[in-house]
Amino acid sequence: MKKSVLIAGSALLLIPSTAAAQSHPAGTADQQGQETIANLQAEVATLRAQVDALIAANDRSGGTGAAHAANPPSTERAEPAPVITFKPRGRLQLDAGWVGRPDGADDRGLGFGSEIRRVRLGAEGKIGRDFGYRVEVDFANPEVELADAYIKWEVGKSVSIKLGQHNSFQSLEELTSSRFTSFMERAAFTDAFGFERRAGASMTYKSGAVIASGGIFAANTADLADDENAISADARLVYAPVLGASQLHFGASFHHRGMGGERAVRYRQRPFLHLTDKRFLATPSLRIERETSVGAELAAIYGPFHAVGEAHWLTAGRATSADATFFGGYAEVGYFLTGETRGYEKGTFARTKPARSLSHGGAGAIQVNLRYDRLDLSDGDVLGGTQDLVALGLTWIPEGHVRFLLNYGHLMYQSGPVAVAVGRSRYATDTVAMRAQIDF
């Protein structure tokens, strides 16, 4: 800002007072003119002093003006607010089915039944670039249960960390969402061996076809008061290459849990249908100090065809008796009659979208599945029984987020608590069940 410009601009303000002086009568012109000149000289002097002060302040502030000189601007830039996303999620599964009564067995828990299997509501999203979250609650039972509740931190492109309640790393079948499993019920060993979400911290590394996960977990949040000293270490390694037109999957998992002292545990399982409380297989109450399990996974997807199998061994470490080892495993094949390919993502099976949904004039996706499943809860002096299942399933997916399932199972048993009730070591039964499901 130049000094001359400031003075000239200031002088313009004096023009009205000069014009006013010239408008007075001539008789008083000389006297008034002298007074006007004196006033102008005083005002110019005042303006000159003010301009000098402005120029000095401008020089001190580096050219940003007197106002900024009095309040120098901050050299730090304010960070923009992080982007926060919120996506609601949920699922509704309605089940109905029938469990046959083996000859000689009389139990009101058998026969026909129905239930609202899952009513889950929650949300997930991201906070900024690197952090995410998921919270999901199940309202199907009389007591509301917390499913997922975790914070996720994406550390670069390959590593992610989870803190909170989430699935540990036991079995492809367990980690595949109930929204996408081939049958209404998962493999028998997943429930019998107590696989569930637990509170903990975990890390996953993913690079190309390799996924490595590991974590330390306490108990499920609903059981923290009872299992407050139980701590487990879990790990899973997956190699999932794409070979030509085939998606392959090779996996292995490890689990070790210290009970924090002796604890009474029973390993047991329902007969391929959750809506009955009847357990055809069950060990007696075992006093165990620890449990260790290992599992192997193998799967392949080729066009509309898929095949998958798993084997899992769990050893219950007892303080005063020999350890007991139990086995569970299954083999399954499936085929989409309408040509779709089973979804697969990040080491688990995922959503399958119909090639032509009902709303677009098609029939949706139709899949048939066949499974053999075995569970053995007998070892040494522990006689929990064995179960062999042959299951046939039909799945219809009219829309990407709607599924209907129809399942039939033939179960063959040896030993176990029901064997005593019916008076023979071998017996069999059948189940028929159906499910209506939506998710978002």
* Residue 57 reports pLDDT greater than 70: no
Mean pLDDT, rounded, for 410-417: 92
Determine the pLDDT at residue 52.
72
* Residue 69 reports pLDDT greater than 80: no
For the chain, the distance separating the N- and C-terminal CA atoms, rounded to the nearest angstrom, is 64
Cα–Cα distance measured from residue 81 to residue 97, given in angstroms and rounded to the nearest whole number: 52
Cα–Cα distance measured from residue 257 to residue 21, given in angstroms and rounded to the nearest whole number: 102
Mean pLDDT, rounded, for 239-247: 97
pTM higher than 0.85, yes or no? no
Q: Where are the domains of the chain?
A: 3-70, 90-118+172-439
* Residue 24 reports pLDDT greater than 60: no
pLDDT 10s digits, 147-166 = 999 999 999 999 999 999 99
Cα–Cα distance measured from residue 386 to residue 340, given in angstroms and rounded to the nearest whole number: 36
Radius of gyration, alpha carbons of the chain: 38
Mean pLDDT, rounded, for 260-266: 91
Contact between residue 145 and residue 119 where contact means Cβ atoms under 8 Å apart? no
Name beta bridge partners: 407.
393, 433
90-118+172-439: in CATH 2.40.160.10:
yes
